[in-house]
């Protein structure tokens, strides 16, 4: 590997003629993935430049500042494990950390590890082109930067390309519009207002109870009801914190070997092998415990429809028992997809909110949304007059942020062309035809199915080990073979098709974006098993990759 060069140095790339800023690696994105990648590259003595579109670091946690934004993975799990001093010293205040607290953590990391000096904010990478002659990536930004890098590492996040559907009349609305994923940095005061929220995914489900307490009236526009479990958030139990910190290494190890990147009590039995009473007890125990982990109540909830139906029915009974108006309760019942095949939402008082006098649920299935008007939202049935509209309408997930960049690999071929029928990748880390380019938590890896922190650290460590190996073996490029990529894609599909996941029209499959190819994108084979596969591939001299000197 070449000696690290100063990020600002003007030198020639290997065998090429490109001049400009030269670094060993460009990292795109300064969220948890980009920050840890930078830290690891520094550890290897490599120079790196991080470009971040936001005005601050933190990725998801920088952008998603909507009321009630907090993580659905518990704080003791949703944190970096790479530094024991850090994990011992940092004190989370709640069972689930709020967005402001996570952002404080991110800022602390940047200062503690002196990361800021290599991060350029408010800079969007617009193009990354592989120069075959020089075997280097040429990266361009919307601020006019031109950087030559040996490695291009995409830390662009899975849910970073926000979408507002093209509602007719969108621009005509006379009131104020908000987007959960681009929330203003100053306080939004809805006091006395008539507010509408469009969407009922995780973001909406977290924000609706809080917005409802502020407003004169709230109208929730729901197209598809979701399954949501109570968070049962509260102050972090000091005894739990003490126990975890007493052996944090073991706690982390269990998470790494688990199915989803954090440990929940898993039941090896079939839901259909036990009595209705036993099932009820198991479900009730998990409901009372709160949070994610419901899908682990029985071994076959995600593989057998009849088993899943028992859990789904448990949720529906809870909704009926909570929501006083029977018609509203009925409209809130999720029936379109098996429980857990879209990420289960985690809420505080979501269903209870529909018992408030100032909250109205509009079921867009029975009265489709026709247009946004100057005064509000027009459905087939009526016009809802509003002062503000909150769009909680989701993301062009997993591929959106990558495809927004003009990425060109060998022969100038674009990633957009390559992925025209859906993403193809080896391990969700590397793409055939795109040498020395890595995607952290890319499509084809557990990513969004897991605790993102565990998956991010695993990918970053794997990439750092790979670069270290390349240096030791005096290798210059790494590129996955098409054959290895094909067989991984087939494996990802095979594993998904053995589950109920593909039955949901979810953002996991691209179904939320009109025209997006339908392909199940994350890898559902389990975080522990996936890690083992990645490690074995590395141990077999990077099987499936072609490495050249």
The residues that touch ligand N01, with contacts defined as CB under 6 A, are 71-72, 159, 165, 180, 198-204, 206, 223-224, 343, 346, 364, 369, 392-395, 448, 507, 512
Nearest approach, Cβ of 544 to ligand N01 (angstroms)? 29
Nearest approach, Cβ of 165 to ligand N01 (angstroms)? 4
Which residue intervals of 22-160 are DSSP H helices? 32-43, 60-63, 84-89, 99-112
The Cα–Cα gap between 24 and 7 comes to 8
The Cα–Cα gap between 255 and 74 comes to 12
Q: Name every residue whose Cβ is closer than 8 Å to that of residue 273 and which is 6 or more positions away in sequence.
A: none
Task: Identify which of residues 124 and 223 has a Cβ nearer to ligand N01 in the complex.
Answer: 223
CA-based torsion, 290, 295, 299, 305: positive or negative: positive
The Cα–Cα gap between 55 and 346 comes to 29
| DSSP state at residue 7 | T
**140, 160, 201, 516: which is closest to 350 by C-alpha?**
201
Task: Identify which of residues 41 and 521 has a Cβ nearer to ligand N01 in the complex.
Answer: 521
Rounded-to-10 torsion of CA 394, 396, 397, 401: -130
Nearest approach, Cβ of 223 to ligand N01 (angstroms)? 3
**25, 7, 14, 4: which is closest to 153 by C-alpha?**
25
Q: Name every residue whose Cβ is closer than 8 Å to that of residue 229 and which is 6 or more positions away in sequence.
A: 286, 287, 290, 291, 292, 294, 315, 344, 345, 346, 347
**80, 108, 126: which is closest to 248 by C-alpha?**
80
Task: Identify which of residues 51 and 167 has a Cβ nearer to ligand N01 in the complex.
Answer: 167
Task: Identify which of residues 48 and 390 has a Cβ nearer to ligand N01 in the complex.
Answer: 390
- Would you report the helix, strand and coil content of the chain in percent, each value rounded to 5? 35, 20, 45
Nearest approach, Cβ of 434 to ligand N01 (angstroms)? 27
Task: Identify which of residues 144 and 514 has a Cβ nearer to ligand N01 in the complex.
Answer: 514
Encoded tokens for 69: 């934004």
Nearest approach, Cβ of 235 to ligand N01 (angstroms)? 19
Within 10 angstroms of residue 171's Cβ, the number of other Cβ atoms is 9
Element (H, E) at 378: strand 376-379
Task: Identify which of residues 449 and 463 has a Cβ nearer to ligand N01 in the complex.
Answer: 449
Nearest approach, Cβ of 391 to ligand N01 (angstroms)? 8
Nearest approach, Cβ of 549 to ligand N01 (angstroms)? 42
Task: Identify which of residues 104 and 223 has a Cβ nearer to ligand N01 in the complex.
Answer: 223
Nearest approach, Cβ of 168 to ligand N01 (angstroms)? 11
The Cα–Cα gap between 47 and 357 comes to 58
Task: Identify which of residues 72 and 479 has a Cβ nearer to ligand N01 in the complex.
Answer: 72
Nearest approach, Cβ of 393 to ligand N01 (angstroms)? 4
The Cα–Cα gap between 264 and 489 comes to 28
Task: Identify which of residues 440 and 478 has a Cβ nearer to ligand N01 in the complex.
Answer: 440
Task: Identify which of residues 292 and 297 has a Cβ nearer to ligand N01 in the complex.
Answer: 292
Minimal CB distance residue for ligand N01: 201
- Whether residue 415 contacts residue 423, with contact meaning beta carbons closer than 8 Å, is answered with no
Within 10 angstroms of residue 540's Cβ, the number of other Cβ atoms is 10
| DSSP state at residue 419 | T
Cα-only R_g, the chain: 24
Nearest approach, Cβ of 465 to ligand N01 (angstroms)? 28
The Cα–Cα gap between 295 and 331 comes to 23
Task: Identify which of residues 167 and 283 has a Cβ nearer to ligand N01 in the complex.
Answer: 167
Nearest approach, Cβ of 513 to ligand N01 (angstroms)? 9
Nearest approach, Cβ of 123 to ligand N01 (angstroms)? 25
Distances (CA, A) of 371 to 171, 241, 379, 381: 10, 50, 7, 12
The Cα–Cα gap between 57 and 52 comes to 7
- Whether residue 305 contacts residue 502, with contact meaning beta carbons closer than 8 Å, is answered with no
Task: Identify which of residues 208 and 427 has a Cβ nearer to ligand N01 in the complex.
Answer: 208
Nearest approach, Cβ of 247 to ligand N01 (angstroms)? 26
Task: Identify which of residues 212 and 407 has a Cβ nearer to ligand N01 in the complex.
Answer: 212
């Amino acid at each position: 590997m070449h000696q690290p060069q100063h990020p600002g140095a003007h030198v020639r790339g290997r065998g090429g003629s490109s001049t400009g800023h030269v670094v060993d690696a460009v990292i795109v994105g300064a969220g948890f993935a980009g920050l840890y990648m930078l830290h690891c590259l520094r550890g290897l003595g490599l120079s790196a430049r991080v470009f971040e579109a936001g005005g601050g670091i933190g990725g998801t946690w920088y952008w998603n500042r909507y009321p009630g934004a907090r993580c659905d993975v518990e704080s003791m799990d949703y944190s970096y494990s790479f530094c024991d001093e850090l994990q011992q010293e940092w004190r989370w205040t709640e069972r689930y950390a709020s967005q402001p607290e996570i952002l404080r953590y991110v800022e602390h990391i940047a200062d503690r590890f002196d990361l800021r000096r290599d991060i350029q904010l408010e800079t969007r990478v617009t193009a990354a082109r592989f120069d075959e002659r020089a075997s280097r990536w040429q990266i361009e930004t919307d601020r006019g930067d031109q950087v030559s890098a040996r490695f291009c590492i995409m830390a662009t996040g899975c849910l970073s390309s926000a979408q507002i559907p093209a509602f007719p009349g969108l621009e005509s609305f006379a009131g104020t519009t908000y987007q959960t994923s681009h929330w203003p940095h100053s306080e939004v005061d809805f006091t006395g207002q008539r507010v509408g929220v469009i969407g009922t995914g995780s973001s909406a489900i977290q924000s609706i109870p809080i917005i409802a307490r502020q407003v004169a009236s709230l109208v929730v526009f729901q197209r598809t009801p979701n399954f949501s479990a109570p968070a049962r958030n509260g102050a972090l139990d000091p005894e739990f914190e003490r126990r975890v910190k007493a052996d944090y290494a073991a706690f982390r190890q269990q998470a790494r070997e688990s199915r989803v990147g954090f440990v929940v009590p898993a039941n090896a039995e079939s839901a259909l092998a036990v009595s209705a009473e036993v099932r009820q007890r198991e479900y009730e125990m998990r409901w009372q415990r709160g949070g994610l982990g419901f899908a682990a109540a029985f071994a076959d909830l995600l593989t057998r429809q009849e088993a899943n139906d028992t859990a789904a029915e448990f949720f529906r009974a809870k909704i009926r028992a909570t929501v006083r108006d029977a018609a509203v309760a009925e409209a809130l019942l999720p029936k379109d997809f098996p429980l857990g095949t879209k990420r289960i939402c985690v809420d505080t008082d979501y269903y209870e909110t529909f018992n408030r006098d100032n909250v109205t649920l509009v079921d867009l299935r029975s009265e489709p949304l026709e247009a946004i008007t100057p005064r509000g939202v027009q459905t087939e049935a009526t016009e809802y007059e509003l002062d503000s509209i909150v769009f909680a309408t989701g993301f062009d997930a997993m591929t959106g942020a990558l495809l927004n960049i003009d990425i060109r690999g060998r022969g100038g071929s674009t990633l957009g062309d390559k992925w025209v029928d859906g993403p193809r990748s080896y391990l969700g880390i590397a793409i055939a035809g795109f040498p020395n380019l890595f995607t952290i938590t890319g499509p084809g890896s557990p990513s969004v199915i897991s605790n993102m922190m565990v998956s991010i650290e695993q990918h970053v460590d794997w990439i750092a080990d790979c670069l270290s190996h390349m240096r030791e073996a005096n290798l210059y490029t790494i590129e996955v073979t098409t054959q290895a990529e094909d067989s991984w894609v087939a494996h990802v599909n095979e594993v998904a098709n053995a589950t109920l996941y593909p039955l949901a029209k979810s953002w996991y499959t691209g179904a939320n974006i009109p025209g997006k190819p339908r392909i199940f994108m994350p890898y559902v084979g389990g975080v522990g098993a996936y890690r083992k596969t990645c490690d074995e591939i590395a141990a077999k001299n990077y099987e499936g990759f072609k490495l050249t000197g």
